[in-house]
């Protein structure tokens, strides 16, 4: 069975390279090289958004496969090292769980039910050991159902699920940024609005 594996906060902090979480994300924009994984190469103006983002189906679902392809490629490149995510599954109400299930395809429904059914303890930090789990978590983010923060270690990067298919990404150095820019381009995506900080060779 393909399941998220609960880990402790100490285990999580010992694995991740960039200390990003839901509470501290704003401060990370001042500390780390970052950009936004997006369909477009710039932040849309309100006029562009009105024209190009007419509906959820015509934007999020239309481009979801590109994000899934990218995240699968990132996972494959990094899976020789632990991959961890932060995800508040334990805080979902029954109504929220039902809404998520309503918005998922049949196969993803079954996989999500397994995660809820076998959720162990009250941790919101998990080890990911299967590509199908990465795909599910990506879809939960692209469909704006629940946002995950992904931490990849081999080529360190933190990718944060977000609204409107605009996912913040944080990097420890410019080499990693350039690798992921190339990968995004291959998936017909962009890393836009990049700001380069001093490379972080020694992480907190």
Amino acid 168: pLDDT = 98
- 128 against 55, higher pLDDT: 128
- Give the DSSP letter of residue 45: P
Segment 74-86, tens digit of pLDDT: 999 999 999 999 9
Residue 53 has pLDDT above 50, yes or no: yes
Nearest-5° angle of CA 181, CA 43, CA 63?
Answer: 65
Amino acid 203: pLDDT = 45
Which residues on neighbouring strands pair with residue 150, listed in sequence order? 85, 159
Which residues on neighbouring strands pair with residue 173, listed in sequence order? none
Segment 59-74, tens digit of pLDDT: 999 999 999 999 999 9
pLDDT band at 13 (very low <50, low <70, confident <90, very high): very high
Taking CB atoms within 8 Å and a gap of at least 24, the contacts of 155-158 are 155/77, 155/78, 155/179, 155/180, 156/17, 156/18, 156/203, 157/18, 157/74, 158/16, 158/17, 158/18, 158/20, 158/28
SS3 state at 6: strand
The percentage of residues in the chain with a pLDDT greater than 90, rounded to a whole number, is 79
Residue 108 has pLDDT above 50, yes or no: yes
């Amino acid at each position: 069975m393909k399941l998220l594996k609960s880990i402790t906060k100490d285990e999580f902090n010992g694995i991740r390279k960039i200390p990003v979480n839901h509470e501290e994300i704003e401060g990370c924009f001042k500390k780390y090289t970052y950009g936004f994984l997006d369909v477009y190469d710039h932040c849309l103006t309100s006029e562009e958004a009105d024209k190009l983002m007419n509906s959820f189906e015509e934007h999020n679902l239309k481009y979801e496969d590109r994000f899934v392809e990218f995240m699968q490629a990132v996972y494959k490149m990094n899976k020789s090292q632990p991959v961890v995510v932060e995800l508040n599954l334990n805080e979902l109400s029954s109504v929220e769980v039902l809404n998520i299930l309503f918005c998922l395809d049949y196969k993803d429904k079954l996989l999500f039910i397994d995660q809820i059914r076998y959720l162990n303890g009250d941790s919101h930090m998990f080890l990911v050991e299967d590509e199908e789990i990465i795909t599910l978590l990506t879809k939960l983010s692209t469909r704006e159902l629940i946002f995950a923060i992904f931490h990849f270690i081999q080529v360190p990067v933190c990718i944060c699920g977000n609204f409107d298919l605009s996912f913040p990404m944080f990097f420890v150095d410019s080499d990693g940024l350039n690798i992921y820019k190339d990968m995004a381009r291959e998936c017909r995506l962009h890393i836009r609005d990049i700001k380069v900080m001093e490379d972080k060779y020694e992480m907190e």
